[in-house]
Amino acid sequence: MTADSQIDLIPVRALNQVTYCPRLYWLEYVEGLMVINEYVEDGTLKHSRVDDPKTANRPRRERETIHTRSVSLASEQLGLTGKLDLVEEKDGAIYPVEYKRSSAPTNADGQATCWENDAIQLCAQGLLLEEHLGRPVPEAVLYYMGSKTRVRVPLDVALREKTSAAITLIRTIAAADQPPAPLPPDLTYRCNGCSLLTICQPEETRFLQVAGEAVSPETRPATISCVLPELDEGAVLYLQEQGSYVGKRSEHLVVNLQGQEINRVPLAAVRQVVLFGKVQISTQALETLVQLEIPVALLSRYGRFIGALMSAPSKNIMLRVNQYQTFSDPAKALGLAKAAVKAKIANQRTLLMRSLRSQSQDEEDPIRGSDDPAAIEMARMLARVDEASDTGVLLGLEGQAASAYFSVFGRMLHGPVPGSAFDFYARNRRPPRDPVNALLSFGYALLAKDTFSAVLTVGFDPYLGFYHGSKHGRPSLALDLMEEFRAPIGDSVVLTLVNNGMLTTADFVEWNGACQLTEAGRRTFFETYERRKATLVTHPLFGYKMSYGRMLEVQARLLAAYIRGDVPAYQGLTVR
Ligand code: SF4
């Protein structure tokens, strides 16, 4: 048997998955996705009792029966491989016994029976055993641990045909370029216990597949259930005290500065750690954070995003292969770039119009934000995005829209006295030279670390983008995804801080022409930024509520769905 032929063998467990849901098989075996939920964990735990390496492959007589546990078999002829939980030999008969964590279903007469997907998996084990022994295996046993029921399953012709059909289905699906569609509505009850529910997003995918490019809230089905939690749990731990040291003590992160403990946070309450500049962290603390899948983001002392440390990238190498292929296709990359730029301009324009309207003093003749010359110019650029023939043209349109937007950004800042610290005339950066530009740059840096985490969580390579060019160390895809969130998160936080008088000139320092927030000013920024991310908004396409923080992940997942050919188009998030 060659290494290649071994790779082609189908694990018998895959026959169970493909019968339950062909898409589940594709996501797990072709994409390599595996999520541990309570069902998977429980099943693994229960199987571990059967799967004891000390007893593997060793026949043991127990009264009249010989038991052999964890029997590994493979057959090139059948194209199958698998580990049998138990092989039982009794009264001259030999058969596999497969353990299941669930309870046995019952038939109309109240008799214990079995699920078809379990029977097919068992039948494949019987076929392997038959070939291995060179003698017939006419029946086998399913043991349902939930109800402690033994169900005898005849390996008859009908079941063998179904098993053979499942093998053929796997071969067909594995050779396809796209995953199978989500289960039809009459079978979606199966999705409830599916470990890949939050990744698959069956209802959203079905809606986008049916709607095609003409997707809009009007074509949305009456209800789409939100499978991601509305809010992120736990807090983001921002650590910026220069010279401090983060260690781990029992189940806590402990921050010390000059030998004094200045902070102690239970690990269970943390969902992300952000380190600024010279904040040291112990290897033990890092190891624990990575094991707990809590990302650690690194920013320079001045707030520039440097990178993030997370557990090893997910195993779904196919997503990254598809990412490289899709982004190196100029037409596809341009299509995605247009979606990002459209969403960015639309969101900037919405923020501008909303802000100008809110300043209206005259009830008789309210300000119509859309009449503002900058809003008109932005609408003009927006209308031309679809016609852009290449990235250069698109960059030009985006630049013109940004110039119109920032030409009036100062008017969105309520009430700064002309000549005051919070005047804004133009965007400047690297370094920002005034407080408002310092706030904008700081907000975008925090946003970049969050989009970086979102694309890594989904399994992308964050350094290969479709719009921002590749450059050593530039997290291009994180920057691409960030475009649609700049106005609703980054700019919005800046407006909140300035317009509510939450910062004063004392919260900034200037050095060599560069302006930056003080540590106290940053603390206020972090709080406002996290509050904004926790704000619940209705997803414009799916119609359910979730926080902006969650939407970062949803958009990254929609991008993944487009890249793997699951849905026909990617649409950037546009807020109302
Ligand atoms: S969520 Fe439903 S459609 Fe999606 S993989 Fe799981 S069972 Fe299949």
Query: Which residue matches tokens 């849901």?
Result: 21
Task: Enumerate long-range contacts of 286-293, CB under 8 Å, 24 or more apart.
Answer: 288/248, 292/267
The model's pLDDT over 257-286, given as tens digits with 9 standing for 90+, comes to 888 888 888 888 887 888 888 889 999 999
User: Does the pLDDT at position 170 exceed 80?
Assistant: yes
CA of 265 to the centre of ligand 1 (A): 37
Phi, psi (degrees; rounded to nearest 5) at 414: -65, 130
- 279 and 365 fall within a common domain: no
The confidence band for 1, taking pLDDT boundaries of 50, 70 and 90, is very low
Contact call for residues 18 and 25 (beta carbons, < 8 A): yes
Q: What is the pLDDT of residue 84?
A: 92
Quick check: is 40 in a domain?
A: yes
Domain assignment of residue 323, yes or no: no
Cα 568 from chain centroid (whole Å): 19
How many other CB atoms sit within 10 Å of the CB of residue 163? 25
Residue 183 Cα to ligand 1 midpoint, Å, equals 6
The CA 117 to ligand 1 mean position distance, Å, reads 14
Residue type, 423: D
Residue-level pLDDT at 360: 64
Residue nearest to atom 4 of ligand 1 (CA): 200
In a domain, 451, yes or no: no
Residue 182 CB less than 6 A away from ligand 1 = yes
Is 312 a member of any domain? no
Would you say the CB of residue 165 lies under 6 angstroms from ligand 1?
no
Q: Is 257 in the pocket of ligand 1 (CB under 6 A)?
A: no
The answer to whether residues 140 and 92 belong to one domain is yes
Residue 329: DSSP 8-state? S
**Residue 90 Cα to ligand 1 middle (Å):** 39
**Residue 106 pLDDT greater than 60, yes or no:** yes
Say yes or no: 150 and 93 in one domain. yes
180 in contact with ligand 1, CB cutoff 6 A: no
Each residue of 316-329: pLDDT tens digit? Answer: 677 888 899 999 99
Q: Is the CB of 533 under 6 A from ligand 1?
A: no
pLDDT > 90 in the chain, percent: 37
112 and 9 together in one domain: yes
Same domain, 338 and 403: yes
Average pLDDT, the chain: 84
User: Would 44 be classed as within a structural domain?
Assistant: yes
Looking at the fold, whether 169 and 212 belong to one and the same domain comes out as: no
For ligand 1, atom 3: residue with the closest CA: 182
Task: Calculate the CA 287 to chain-centre distance.
Answer: 22
- For residue 24, the ligand 1 atom closest to its alpha carbon is 5
**Hey, which residues does 511 pair with through a beta bridge?**
514
Specify the number of domains making up the chain. Answer: 4
**Exposure string for 370-391, b = 16+ CB within 10 A, e = fewer:** eebebbebbbebbeebeebeeb
Residue 371 included in any domain: yes
Asked whether residue 400 carries a pLDDT value surpassing 70, the answer given is yes
**Domain co-membership, 204 together with 264:** no
Q: Is residue 159 part of a domain?
A: yes
Range of the domain at 101: 3-175
Residue 168: CATH number of its domain: 3.90.320.10
- 111 and 32, same domain (yes or no): yes
- Closest residue to atom 7 of ligand 1, CA basis: 191
Pocket residue to mutate for ligand 1, from 115, 169, 187, 196, most atoms within 8 A of Cβ:
196
Q: What is the model's pLDDT at position 4?
A: 44
27 within ligand 1 shell (Cβ under 6 A): yes
Average pLDDT rounded to a whole number, residues 377-405: 92
Tell me if 24 CB under 6 Å of ligand 1: yes
Is residue 464 one of the residues assigned to a domain? no
Q: Summarize pLDDT for 198-236 with one digit per residue, the tens.
A: 888 888 888 888 776 666 666 666 566 665 665 566 678
Same domain as 338, residue 214: no
The Cα-based distances of 217 to 256, 338, 488 in angstroms read: 51, 20, 19
DSSP 420-438: STT---S---SS--SHHHH
Task: State in Å: Cα 180 to ligand 1 middle.
Answer: 10
Q: Is 183 in the pocket of ligand 1 (CB under 6 A)?
A: yes
Residues 30 and 162 in one domain: yes
CA of 110 to the centre of ligand 1 (A): 29
- Cα 34 to averaged position of ligand 1 atoms, centre (Å): 13
Q: How far is the CA of 191 from the centre of ligand 1 (A)?
A: 5
Report the CATH number that the domain containing residue 268 is assigned in CATH. Answer: 3.100.10.20
**Each residue's pLDDT tens digit, 508-552:** 888 888 888 888 898 899 989 998 988 888 888 777 888 888 889
Q: Are residues 121 and 213 in the same domain?
A: no
- Which ligand 1 atom is at minimum distance from the Cα of 197? 1
Q: What is the pLDDT of residue 330?
A: 92
Does pLDDT of 411 surpass 90?
Answer: no
| Distance between start and end Cα atoms, the chain | 60
Indicate which residue's Cα is closest to atom 2 of ligand 1.
191
Same domain, 289 and 252: yes
